[in-house]
Each structure stands twice: as C-alpha cells, then as structure tokens.
Amino acid sequence: MTLQTARPTPDPNPTNMIPRLDIRRIDRVFGGRKVVDDVSLTVLPGQVTCLLGPSGCGKSTTLRIIAGVDRQDAGEIRIDGQLVCDTVFRLPPERRSVGLMFQDFALFPHLSVAENVAFGLTGPKAARRARVEDLLDRVALGRFIDAYPHELSGGEQQRVALARALAPRPKIMLMDEPFSGLDNRLRDEIRDQTLQVLKDEGAAVLLVTHEPDEAMRMADEIALMRGGRIVQQGAPYNIYNAPVDRAAAAFFSDINVIRGRVQNLLTETPFGKFLTPGMADGAEVDIIIRPQHLRIDFDRNGRGPNPTAEEGVAARACVERARFMGSESLVEFRMDHDGSALRATVPAVFLPQPGTPMWLTIRRDRCFVFPREGGGRAA
C-alpha cells in the first residue's frame, strides 16, 4: 500500500499543548464493584496512547465512557480543554468529535465502500466526494471505491473502517482491539499502515489492546491497566525497562524469579549480592530477570566461569530442556544451589543435551527487585 503524507504534523514542543483528551479521576461501578477505578490520563494531538491490560480490567468500559455511550459515576472528561461530561453535564456522543473503530469493522453491507466512508460526512457533495477519494487513496483502496464490503478481504475491510472513522476529521480516535480480527500475517503490516494514516491525520488516538506487542509497536505512551486502575503509565521503553511491580514485568514477557532475603540492606543470591535499600532485615524479595538477559557461558563446556567475565558472579545449573522456537532457542535450567528453574533465550540454534552442566550470569542492569507479596515489610 502506498501512503501519501505531508499532513499536519504535531507541535514539536508537546509541553505547550492542551491535551486533546483529558480524563480525570473516572470511576464506573457495576453491581457495587468498581470496574473503572480512579482512572486519569491525557492524550496529546497526534499521539497514540494504548490502554493495555488483561481481559476484564476495564479498558472497554473506559472507552465507552469517553465515547459517550456509557456514563461515569465520578470524574470528568475534557476534549481540547472543553468539558464533555462530568456527573451532571453530558454532551451526546455525536457532538464529541470522536471516531470509533472496533474489532468487528461493522461496515454497512448494503452500502458501497464510498457510501460507507461518506456515511458520517456533511457539507457539499463535491467536498464529501473529495474527502472520500482522498482517504481511500491514502489507505490504498481507491480502486475499490464502488465495491461492496463482502467483496473485500478482512484487511481491506479494516482499512475501509479506518477511512470511515477518520472521514469527519474526529479530534479523537477510539480504537478497541481493531486488529484482533485479522490474520496473523497481515496484522503487523496493517498496524504500521494504520499508524501512518493516524499520524498523518493528527488525531489523538486511544487504542485498547490486551496484547503487549501491539502496544509496544503502536504506542507513544502506554497506560497499563489492572483491576480497573492504571498501575503504570509512560513511554513503552520505560514501562518495559522499569516495571512498577512483578505483574507489570510479567505482562510483557516471560520472567525468571530469583528469591532472596534481605540482610543489612543486601540480598545474597547465587549471582552475587544485590542492593535492596529501604527493605527491612529479613524481608523476602523477588529478583526478576527476563530470559533474554540471562547469559550462558557457552565456551567452557561447564568447566567453570571465565575469570575475566564482567558479568559478576556465575552460578552453575544443568540443562533440563532446550527447544528451538524459530528466531531463538529457549533453554530451561535447573539451578544447582536450590533446584529452582530458570529459562534463558539465545538468538541462535542452541540445543544442548539435557543434563549438560553450564554456568550462568545475569545482566544486573536488567534485574528488577521487588518485595515478595506477603513476604515482609519495607523498612
């Protein structure tokens, strides 16, 4: 698909911007249970924010409140600084300048592609036609202008739905799992193309997904949601590299957990001592490391760590199982010191026999240390 660009670009100094979407302290209660709990977030013009979290955490309900098809029990929403709704005042959905896109593209089957895209447009006929043609060109569907939805593939229907949602130039695009109906092979390409069109339009985008990969790929900012609350918010690399807790780390990838106990502000492990400031003596801690940050001493065939290694203390383990996963190998180890299991990934074909002894080191700068839940108090 070819994309024509040269659309308005966002303000280079985003700190000067009024947030396009500003949600403050939203609650929603169903049957006495807060399914949206004190949610606040802002989205700037031209920015994509992903509301990311497991099924049932309250993402869609938040989106529905912003769209105006559900109401909050507390809090307020502003668009471009103007109040859209609080618990007293409520602007109807059609007056909020919000575009919607859902998993099922919900195209009108009896309308042509052009008629679908023109559906929400007002104004002179020639201007409407020009807008439809422009958008269809930009999603590379110009040649399907007179086709009907059933004549299009899933990916093409998704692009028509995108063009339709963008046609009235909404200030905000709300997207709820818009790619989950697509074939795996198509998905990455369509995500990238969609992102480009959204950026060109300059709308503020709030995209709901339960897939961390999708959020990492699409988002300028991720709001991680759990149990109705936003537990962490920031740029994708910050959320990935500085998770707030063990569950936040585990949401993005498989993790290894090395258990320890604090003594004199330090926690001793087979990989050396870790600083654990602020933790009381005797508190139990989990040291988290992702499998790609565990290093295997390949060269010495289990004969012991290389004394010049800069990775700190090495610990001995035996291979339990090794599998080739396509772009990497996953090796599972049983640690000598306590029989615990650790997993390492290697970006190559690496399939040592079960029972092979090896030495492991960890990238200490990639470890996260958290108090174990229910395992002791902070000092």
Ligand X SMILES: Nc1ncnc2c1ncn2[C@@H]1O[C@H](COP(=O)(O)OP(=O)(O)OP(=O)(O)O)[C@@H](O)[C@H]1O
Residues that bind ligand X (CB under 6 A): 30, 35, 53, 55-61, 210
CA R_g for the chain = 25
In the structure encoding, which two tokens stand for residue 178, read together? 């818009």
In the structure encoding, which two tokens stand for residue 77, read together? 């929403």
Q: How far is the CB of 89 from ligand X (least distance, A)?
A: 22
Closer residue to ligand X (CB): 34 or 321: 34
Closest-CA residue to 222 (of 35, 47, 18): 47
Residues 6+ apart with CB under 8 A from 181: 103, 104, 105, 154, 158
Closer residue to ligand X (CB): 102 or 370: 102
Closer residue to ligand X (CB): 128 or 229: 229
Q: How far is the CB of 145 from ligand X (least distance, A)?
A: 33
Q: How far is the CB of 178 from ligand X (least distance, A)?
A: 13
Closer residue to ligand X (CB): 93 or 168: 93
Closer residue to ligand X (CB): 182 or 283: 182
Closer residue to ligand X (CB): 33 or 110: 33
Q: How far is the CB of 104 from ligand X (least distance, A)?
A: 13
DSSP class per residue in 56-122: TSSHHHHHHHHHTSS--SEEEEEETTEEEE-SS-B--GGGS-EEEEESS----TTS-HHHHHHTT--
CA 43 to chain CA centroid, Å, is 15
Q: How far is the CB of 247 from ligand X (least distance, A)?
A: 15
In the structure encoding, which two tokens stand for residue 165, read together? 């949602």
Burial class (CB in 10 A: 0-12, 13-18, 19+), 126: exposed
Residues 6+ apart with CB under 8 A from 80: 18, 20, 171
Closer residue to ligand X (CB): 7 or 71: 71
Helices and strands (H, E) in the chain, number of each type: 8, 20
C-alpha torsion angle, residues 57, 61, 62, 63 (rounded to 10): 120
In the structure encoding, which two tokens stand for residue 101, read together? 């896109």
The CA distances from residue 203 to 49, 119, 168, 290, 326, in Å, are 11, 19, 11, 35, 37
Q: How far is the CB of 53 from ligand X (least distance, A)?
A: 6
The Cα 317–Cα 232 span in angstroms is: 35
Q: How far is the CB of 40 from ligand X (least distance, A)?
A: 17
Closer residue to ligand X (CB): 60 or 345: 60
Structural contact between residues 33 and 20, judged by C-beta atoms closer than 8 angstroms: no
Closer residue to ligand X (CB): 56 or 154: 56
Estimate the crossing angle of helix 154-166 against helix 125-138, to 10 degrees. 140
Residue 210 gets which letter from DSSP?
S
In the structure encoding, which two tokens stand for residue 9, read together? 């670009």
Closer residue to ligand X (CB): 187 or 290: 187
Q: How far is the CB of 300 from ligand X (least distance, A)?
A: 48
